Amino acid sequence: MTDPIQDTVNAVIEQLDVTQLAALSGGASFWETKTVPGVPSFAMSDGPHGLRKQEGDAADHLGLGASVPATCFPPAVSLGQSWDLELAERVGAALAAESQAQGVDVLLGPGINIKRDPRCGRNFEYLSEDPFLTGLLATAWVNGLQSGGVGASLKHFAANNAEFDRMRLSSDVDARPLHEIYLRAFETVIRDAQPWTVMCSYNRINGILASQNRWLLTDVLREQWGFAGAVISDWGAVADRVAAVDAGLDLQMPGDTAASDTAVVAAVEAGTLPVAAVERAARAVARTALLAQQSRREVTVDYDAHHALAREIAGRSIVLVKNDADLLPLDPSGRIAVIGPFATEPRYQGGGSSHVRPTRLDIPLDQIRAAAPGAQVTNSIGFTTDGDSDQTDLRAEAAELAAAADVAILFLGLAEHQESEGFDRDDIELPAAQLALLEAVSAVQPRTVVIISAGGVLRLAPVDEAAGAILSGGLLGQAGGSAIADVLFGTVNPSARLTETVPVRLQDAPSYLHFHGEHSRVRYGEGLFVGYRGYDARDVEVLYPFGHGLSYTTFSYEQLDVEHSENGLQVTVVVRNTGAVPGREIVQVYATKPDSAVIRPPQELVGVGTIDLKPGEAGAVHISVRRQDLAYWNDQLSRWVVEDGSYRIGVAKSSRDTQIVGEVTIVGDDVRTPFTADSTIGEVMAHPAAAAVAMAAFGSMMPQEGAGAELGMDVMKMMASMPLGRVIGGADEASAQHLQALLGGINAAVLA
């Protein structure tokens, strides 16, 4: 099937000289690309939870200059907690409409880096600690955006999991965690949504800058995954334009690239840069420009409808973390004390390049009063976020109001200056003034509800001890105030789930000893064991597990059926609403390979489903588990491999709350690798075909069972670790020939 746009691109590129080709791979201005004959410019803007379009002299990538008003949807930290693919797609579609209305062709998002460590300053912009969930949500978001004719820019590619020293830092990651954790979501989105562009990150990967990393940008992204779009740099990420283009970068941003354009032309003329690389970059940029031109449309944005959508998403993103004695939902009458500065000046988005100027902003205190017109609502600031002043009097006033009320609603969290793009946090503590306030309020008011506003995980053990109910909203966007009121009073029954484990203490985090690193290198020493994978593998107690979230109703899981096909699994579970109000349940499917031949986490998320049920109603949830999501990355073969044998399938409410378990037998991939002189006797004997040949050849040399017991040793186990070449080989030619003959016989049997 022909691609008309690509045909046009090819025809245009043939008419351009090397100077024009080079010009296409450098930006024209801060947000726009250059034009050459036959290729128009296209415009980009920051996202991803809202349009941050800047104009004129206001342009910057740090969120300093003013931008046009746009709907500030819940950032990824909250959207992820919805676990809702439909909502993610609707956000993308709404962002496309607002981008079209402002003449923006490519929106820079979504951010899908993994939340490796809770201290990362940009975690608010990312979806989860789990790559499977991240990939699902990001694919839906990209599909929604691009269905509206606006291109996505998948970022930050790759292994950009810290803000500290981000322009130089090398993320040193082994092959398996790199593929299974840090590249996996990117691969999912590339294969399932084909974003128009991918944005390479500032950092190095195993010593090589992402912008100059041929393995990353060409071997993996294009050749393995089939990416057909343009690779653009993060703003200011290119250190050497010639090396970057040669490695696979297509567009250097921001603009003012005349000097590097000239360097590209000079390198081609000198024979140090293949002209084919320059043509590839120009072709990718031209294709994006023509695709954008073709996709532009007249759009009238209904900002009221978008605000309503932002409210719906925020309500679906608030996690009911704790609810002792059914403290929530509240009765919208009586006396309610609302305490904390975030009740009147909400913390609703993160700082930096994604900072959106909202079209309006719902204030939590106002929305609580509107939702409970018959209540007596009092308010006290309780603490300040500057940390400089003596706050004793503020605490005393707040405690007095709380004691006189029927319930206290306490807003806690982090201020903008305490977490942002550009720096990482030193710890995950709530400020001391807030903990002191919590202690004072809870001492006089046992019916205390705490609402957490923060872009990253906090140590909530003190909150859990003191509060009767806890709502974790993350950062809820411009309609967060009304969404909080919806959940507090039961207009919305919470259904959100945590996308990041909340540890008892920071030191329990798997990455604790490997963050930030030193001398501009950070070793990802926890390997595969990121987030819940690491807590589970070490059997570490957590405060709230990945996937945790309560409801105002209850659900039971009554029946499980797991069917296997060549494409994966079909998991069907019957869920019943056993409570008194309608509710939504998020069903999580985890897979375990108990007898795996390789090191694997105890369990991994492989499926997600949702169901809405009325009281007493039951329904079947059908969840497809793709075969590739059961695979591990084989670092010897450099490809994904599904192991043969039995898998445990757990259907759960969280990673620590499995409700029902099934088993299924899967026919694995054909993995046959030749044995060598370095293969051990144990490896040979573990393979039936190889063992038969080996035993016929040197079975008489094998010790009898129990040999060596008098010396306190197990000779069989000791010999299992010995390479064949050390046992059979020798310095003489006859021994070498004997070894090669044996290996030939073994491999003939194994590879037959």
**Could you list the active site residues?**
234
Tokens 């399932």 locate to 192
C-alpha R_g of the chain: 29
Q: Could you give the 3-state DSSP secondary structure of residue 641?
A: strand
Residue 64 corresponds to which tokens in the numbers above?
């300093």
In whole angstroms, give the CA distance from residue 192 to residue 647. Answer: 26
> Would you list the DSSP string of 354-390?
T---BS----HHHHHHHH-TEEEEEEE----SS--S-
Instruction: Identify the bridge partners of residue 165 per DSSP, sorted by sequence position.
Output: none
Whether cis (ω within 30° of 0) applies to the bond prior to 601 is no
Q: From the centroid of its chain, how far is CA 553? A: 29
Q: What is the crossing angle of helices 688-698 and 733-750, to 10°?
A: 150
* Sign of the torsion angle spanned by Cα atoms 505, 508, 509, 512: positive
Please give the sequence-ordered ranges of beta strands (E in DSSP) within 468-529, or none if there are none: 469-474, 502-503, 521-523
68-82 as b/e: b if 16+ CB within 10 A? bbbbbbbbbbbbbbb
Q: From the centroid of its chain, how far is CA 301? A: 29
In whole angstroms, give the CA distance from residue 98 to residue 46. Answer: 12
Q: Please, what is the Cα angle at 478 between 477 and 483, to 5 degrees?
A: 80
Q: Please, what is the Cα angle at 673 between 668 and 675, to 5 degrees?
A: 135
What is the phi/psi pair of residue 580, to 5°? -105, -5
Tokens 């690239």 locate to 257
463-494 as b/e: b if 16+ CB within 10 A? bbebbbbbbbbbbbbbbbbbbbbbbbbbebbb
* Sign of the torsion angle spanned by Cα atoms 604, 610, 615, 619: negative
CA distances from 306 to 96, 355, 457 (A): 12, 18, 28
In whole angstroms, give the CA distance from residue 6 to residue 440. Answer: 66
In whole angstroms, give the CA distance from residue 478 to residue 308. Answer: 10
